Amino acid sequence: MDEQTKNLILATGLSFLVLLSWMFFFPPEPIPENFDSLATDTTQGPNDRNTKLTDKEIQNYSENIQEDSIGQFAPRVEILTKNLKGSIWLKGGRIDDLSLVNYRETLDSTSNNVSLLAPSDSDKPYYASHGWAAIEGLKQKDTPDSNTVWTLKSGTVLTEKSPVVLTWKNNHGIIFEKTISVDENYMFEVTQSVINGSNSTVKLYPYGNLTRNGQPDTIGFYILHEGVVGMQDGELIETNYDDIIELPKEKRTREIQENGWIGFTDKYWMSTLLPKSGQTFKMDQRYFPSSENFEVWMRLPPVTIGSNESRSVTTNLFIGAKEVTTIKSYQKLMNIENFVDSVDWGWFFYLTKPIFFLLDWFNGFTHNMGWSIILLTLFIKTLLFPLSYKSFVSMSRMKKLQPQMEKIKQNAGDDRAKLQQELMALYKKEKVNPVAGCLPILLQIPVFFSLYKVLFVTIEMRHAPFIGWIKDLSAPDPTSFLNLFGLLPFSPPDPTSILSIFSIGVYPILMGVTMWLQQKLNPAPTDKTQAMIFAWMPWVFMFMLGQFSAGLVIYWVANNLIQFGQQYIIMYSQGVKPDIFGNITKSFKRSE
């Protein structure tokens, strides 16, 4: 093999290391925040409802509210569905207590449910609220605020089948009503109504708000976005918490003409404000130093309500797990533009999305993401087999030429120019492409990176078991050779410790061994330095990937085994009989 080809193959392998390093140290730049300034909009949205009420209806409505208000002071209304549990605090009428029924903090079945929202007296308040802001005809104190104690007009527990209705009446005879419903998953619907029992016309604008106190404990990993996420007429908006703090005033607000949404995203969870499809609105994202609150706002166009009239506006609120199938169904049924992009698919979305959907499709048959990863590997190797076939045929021919190449090297001695010239003449004569062997490595690099991204960001991989000791495919293999895989009476180093790099489990070791075996089918480099580098590469990868997710390492093991089988059969069909154990023996003798 000529010197240039050797260097190319070496560079290809090392580029894999560079790619992994790039993931850690060079995150993608956030999308520029070209906000428009906040402007007054008097356009009425498609979901507004204008109704003329009679004097008798206004009087009856007011009497009912007063009767319901007796003896009530800031109680809570329970939320209980098959996926959610929590409560609505009638003081402020906010949803501020919510956790997930089917997700726990750890693999332990007795651990706490994952908590999404928290009340204002907790360590990290996080809540959703909806209301009206006065523009004309009223002062802000005449609209409900965070201290307003609402009355529960109807409903006792918010469930999938039973909404609740909250009401409040100001001193001018204007009644504010809030109807909250929720589906069987994570989507709330909030209908805000104003019944104007006063003698004057008022002008208000409805809004929705998400407030998060203090900077959350984020993973801080460069390939994952955590912070504000939204969509503005087809443009994805992602702002980290540090960037929100530094946002200048003129860049906080965006005006959405047709489709959009905004919210906070964590790795696996999300809260999102969603106007109805086609609704014009303004979105805000900002930080308040005095309260240390991060907030996102959804401000709908102002509405004018005449005396004895009522108006209603309906919006949605998503609070829950970022289950791709669930989010995609909302995107389709509710016409939410690119809602599935709330999952951080990354730069390689054209690979990460298909890879996830293939995994999810396979999981429909296997009901096990570990086997789905293996089936995905088999699918990819089958898809790329025509290219791999050409590559392995070329490598087989190179293997046949190994004795002649060694002879040329001996004859050329230290004359590198003569060595290169004679090697190129040999390749031309035998019609061999020495670069073709690099193709399988080059093709699997973007697939590997994309699968790594999918395993890291999708909740479907969280706490997903395989077989045996693998209980979470998104976490590293929990076994360790340091304690002989549990036989010795001590625990391996904590995963956060730098010593954990030496605490590798069964699957990382299998990856190193299978990579080493697969390497033995390839033509051996004639240069001693390069031969040494190639010999060490499987073990370097073994330690480097030992703390990566078990699902990723399982993919690599399956990839090595399938490629080994393909290459062995093709080489045998080309008249090359790989002597694996003979090569291993020679390697040990050479090292001695």
Summarised one tens digit per residue, pLDDT across range 478-493 is 888 776 776 666 666 6
DSSP class of residue 118 equals B
Q: Which residue has the higher pLDDT, 519 or 370?
A: 370
Least reliable range by pLDDT among 134-148, 418-432, 446-460: 418-432
Beta bridge partners of 4: none
Average pLDDT of the segment spanning 417-438: 74
14-46 core/surface letters (b: 16 or more CB in 10 A; e: else):
eebeeebeebeeeeeeeeebebeeeeebeebbe
Domains of the chain (ranges plus CATH)? 36-323 (2.70.98.90), 353-591 (no CATH)
Q: What is the pLDDT of residues 150-177, one digit of tens each?
A: 999 999 999 999 999 999 999 999 999 9
How is residue 411 annotated by DSSP?
Answer: H
In one-letter notation, the amino acid at residue 433 is N
DSSP state of 296: E
CB 362 within 8 A of CB 372: yes
Q: What is the pLDDT of residue 66?
A: 37
> What pLDDT sits at residue 386?
82
The rounded mean pLDDT for the chain is: 80
What is the largest distance, in Å, between two alpha-carbon atoms of the chain?
110
pLDDT at position 37: 32
Residue listed under structure tokens 């670069």: 435
Amino acid at 285: Q
Whose structure tokens read 């154990």? Answer: 581
Dist. CA 283–CA 33, nearest whole Å: 12
Measure the CA–CA gap between 548 and 477, rounded to whole angstroms.
8
Contact 309, 197 (CB under 8 A): no
Higher pLDDT, 269 or 12: 269
**What is the structure's pLDDT at 88?**
96
SS3 assignment for 333-379 = HCCCCCHHHHCCCCCCHHHHHHHHHHHHHHHHHHCCHHHHHHHHHHH
Beta bridge partners of 50: 311
Q: How far is CA 316 from the centre of its chain?
A: 22
Q: Name the DSSP class of 32.
A: P
The reported pLDDT for the residue numbered 46 is: 38
> Tokens 């698919």 map to which residue?
345
Q: How many helices (H) and strands (E) does the chain have?
A: 14, 21
Q: How far apart, in Å, are the Cα atoms of 364 and each of 284, 329, 358, 371, 432?
A: 40, 17, 10, 11, 44
Q: How far apart are CA 445 and CA 18, in angstroms?
A: 11
Give the residue, 74 or 583, on which the prediction is more confident: 74
| Run of H or E including 68 | helix 55-69
Say whether 514 sits in a helix, a strand or coil: helix
Task: Return d(Cα 96, Cα 271) in angstroms, integer.
Answer: 12
Strands 94-104 and 113-117 come out as antiparallel
Percent of the chain with pLDDT over 70: 78
Q: Are 235 and 31 in contact (CB under 8 A)?
A: yes
What is the structure's pLDDT at 251?
67
Residue range 7-35: mean pLDDT, rounded: 42
**CA 249 to centroid of chain Cα atoms:** 29
Looking at residue 32, its pLDDT comes to: 32
Question: What is the rounded CA–CA span in Å between residue 333 and residue 329?
Answer: 6
Q: In the structure, what pLDDT confidence band is assigned to residue 132 with cuts at 50, 70 and 90?
A: very high
Strand partners, 235: 232
Other CB atoms within 10 Å distance of the CB of residue 206: 28
Distance of alpha carbon 267 from alpha carbon 262, whole angstroms: 16
**pLDDT: is 567 or 263 the higher one?**
263
Token pair belonging to 47: 């979901």
Q: How confident is the model at residue 527 (pLDDT cuts 50, 70, 90)?
A: low
pLDDT score, position 79 = 97
Q: Give the model's pLDDT for residue 395.
A: 75
pLDDT score of 539: 86
- Whether pTM > 0.95 for this model: the answer is no
Return the structure tokens found at 113: 């449910």
Instruction: Of 265-279, 416-430, 564-578, give the range with the top mean pLDDT.
Output: 265-279
Mean pLDDT of 175-182: 96
**For residues 40 and 222, what is the distance between their CA atoms, to the nearest angstrom?**
38
Report how far residue 222's alpha carbon sits from residue 457's, in angstroms, rounded to the nearest whole number.
12
Sorting pLDDT into bands at 50, 70 and 90, what band is 3?
very low
pLDDT at position 25, please? 42
pLDDT in tens, 49-81: 444 445 444 444 444 443 333 334 579 999 999
Computed over its alpha carbons, how large is the radius of gyration of the chain?
31
- Average pLDDT for residues 357-374, to the nearest whole number? 94
Tell me the percentage of the chain whose pLDDT exceeds 90.
41
Beta strands at 303-305 and 235-240: parallel, antiparallel or unpaired: unpaired
Alpha carbons within 13 A on the beta-carbon side of 548 = 26
- Would the pLDDT of 433 be above 80? no
- The rounded distance, in Å, linking the Cα atoms of 392 and 522 is 9
